[in-house]
Copies of this chain bind each other. A is one copy, B any other.
Amino acid sequence: MRYLTSLALFAPFAAAIWPLPSSYTSGDTVLWIDGGVQISYNAANNVGSILAANALKEYAPVDPQLTTNPQSYPHSYWNKNRNSTAGHRASQQIIQYAIQRTYDTVLKKNFVPWKFHERNEDFEPPTEDKTFISRITLQQNAADPDNILTPRAGDLDESYSLSLTEDGEATIEAETSIGLVRGLTTFTQLFYKHSAGGAYTPFAPVEIEDEPKFPHRGLNMDTSRNYFSVSDIKRTIDAMAYNKFNRLHWHITDAQSWPLEIPALPELAAKGAYRRDLTYTPGNFEEIQYFAAIQGVEVIVEIDMPGHTSSIWFSQPELITAFNAQPDWNTYCAEPPCGSLKLNSTAVYDFLATMWDDLLPRVRSSYFHTGGDEVNVNAYLLDDTVRSNDTAVLQPLMQRFIDFNHGRVREAGLTPVVWEEMLLTWNLTLGDDVVIQTWQSDEAVAEVVAAGHKALVGNYNYWYLDCGKGQWLDFAPGLASQKYWPYNDYCSPRKNWRLMYSYDPLHGIPANSSHLVLGGECHIWAEQTDPINFDDMVWPRACAAAEVLWSGAKDENGQNRSQIEASPRLSEMRERLVARGVRAEPIQMPFCIMNGTQCSLAT
């Protein structure tokens, strides 16, 4: 009796689309899909209607060079897209890749959803008399901008609508090719693998209208403290796009290693990378940006300065102050090895000019992040060009430093991004264009927008994925240290998906300033993360941030969205990530998922 009662608690089974669409209705008709489905792509641009592809199948890669040796990776993609038919050609590349991913996801990397049904339930549809989806129409209502792969002018329209009729006609409609990509991503989440083979949706008819709440939805990945291969980064971009993230913040260099090859400064990576082969060549750099762009993910490169630059010391020690100060490192920096670019050095400015001339023209984004976090003034006590930790002395030098860098960034047609300290701690005068990335508090966001600046959120008490492993520092023996090391890394404890999901980027922001909150990022710093554990450190927890940024933190009643609704849906998203080769951790045991809301607790 108790058990029967509890059965009634089961939520109606519906497609577990993540992130949640703006509106969504579905039915319970089963439709199958296979490689025979006809696909048409109708784009309302000046070229007229294009048949991009005539079946859902495995295409050759969009460009064969995508799979060639990264060392010889050519720089031709972007040039191809700069001529007069660039938008047209780019749109075709985008759609062709999206169809490839749809094929791969639905027909090859899908999963049997037994965990989401009662134990030993015979939940799969019969395999006789299958009705197949006959056609997918991709309808693009506006021409893509020419720069769709190299967005220089703000944000793309990513909205779409999706319709799937009971008789097997699917239509996805959008203003841009990337909108169609988002719609196809949603489309794949309607389908399951059948244990007898094939894929089906049990949810027809389906009607979806969808658009993102925030234009900036990012993950920040640190490739300095540990090196991640091109394939690790591509796997991450793929998982990001599957969560409708659209910004990969690539924190590419830091104190511990400099993996980015700058051909004009060849010793920088040759001596500053962890190993000579653990670098990103210009080819890798291009490949990663392209791989992201065709999925609607913009790569925002960060060279963090003037702190977090100790790895430059290995090639040019004369540029760095306080390098690896020991053993009193915590006087000079936030973590070993200490080191900052000297603040009043001609040699530093020469270095920067050379780097910018080399690097900035190769950036395929609308933004460039110049860093600026955690600058410790004591480092400049040891700086022979300054010899002071007095902010009255240092502040004008920092202003000059930022002005120089942001000038170069703007000359390259890019918008600067900085960490909050440049505005809130150093009180620098920053251009109106500069985007301020906050991380320390919700109050910081409020201060940034009150100053009229655009802000990114990512409060470390909510969205830092690295927290909670305890200290990675080794402590001297003795019980006195015990209070520090078991738990207290600076951002302990671990942020679970529930906490991340409760974080509202607009918390405490006046309505008339909310347009200045462009969105936010979750962060995976790599002190205790390398390619072996990266996936399960990031996924599926980052999905919680993805949904907040796409769907908003609040439900239709203005309340935090319900964990109880989100939890089984996130568990299903996790299974989809695992099926595509991402080692996302489980958030609940199968018993809980099988039994709907029975692993809940009212308080």
Give the interface of A toward B (CB within 8 A): 2-3, 5-6, 9, 114-115, 119-120, 225-226, 255-257, 271, 274-276, 314, 323-327, 329-330, 336-337, 468-478, 480-482, 484-487, 492-496, 498-499, 502, 526-530, 532-533, 536, 559-560, 562-564, 567, 578, 583-592, 594-595, 597-603
Contact = CB atoms under 8 A, between A and B. Distances in A.
A304 B487 CA distance: 31
Contacts of A600: 327, 473-476
Contacts of A326: 2, 5-6, 9, 598
9 contacts: A119-B314, A120-B276, A256-B591, A326-B598, A337-B598, A487-B494, A487-B496, A492-B493, A532-B586
A226 B590 contact: yes
Contact of A599 (B257, B336, B597, B603): B336
A590 B257 contact: yes
Contacts of A564: 474-477
A116 to B, nearest CB: 12
A528 B476 contact: no
A256 B475 contact: no
Contacts of A6: 324, 326-327
Given A468-B468, A494-B494, A225 B589 contact: yes
Contacts of A3: 323-324
Q: Say whether chain A's binding surface is mostly helix, strand, loop, or mixed.
A: loop
A601 B488 CA distance: 13
Given A226-B589, A326-B6, A563 B486 contact: no
B532 A536 contact: yes
B536 A533 contact: yes
Contact of A563 (B475, B528, B563): B475
Given A336-B591, A472-B588, A481-B603, 13 more contacts: A2-B323, A2-B324, A5-B326, A225-B589, A256-B590, A257-B590, A324-B595, A330-B601, A472-B589, A473-B600, A477-B564, A486-B496, A528-B587
Closest A-B pairs by Cβ, 7 of them: A470-B496, A486-B499, A256-B591, A6-B326, A474-B600, A481-B603, A533-B585
A532 B469 contact: no
A563 B496 contact: no
Contacts of A119: 271, 274-275, 314
A139 B540 CA distance: 52
A256 B562 CA distance: 25
Contact of A475 (B115, B498, B530, B590): B498
A572 to B, nearest CB: 14
A569 to B, nearest CB: 11
Contacts of A471: 496, 498
Nearest to A317: B3
A87 to B, nearest CB: 41
Contact of A468 (B225, B255, B474, B493): B493
A476 B323 contact: no
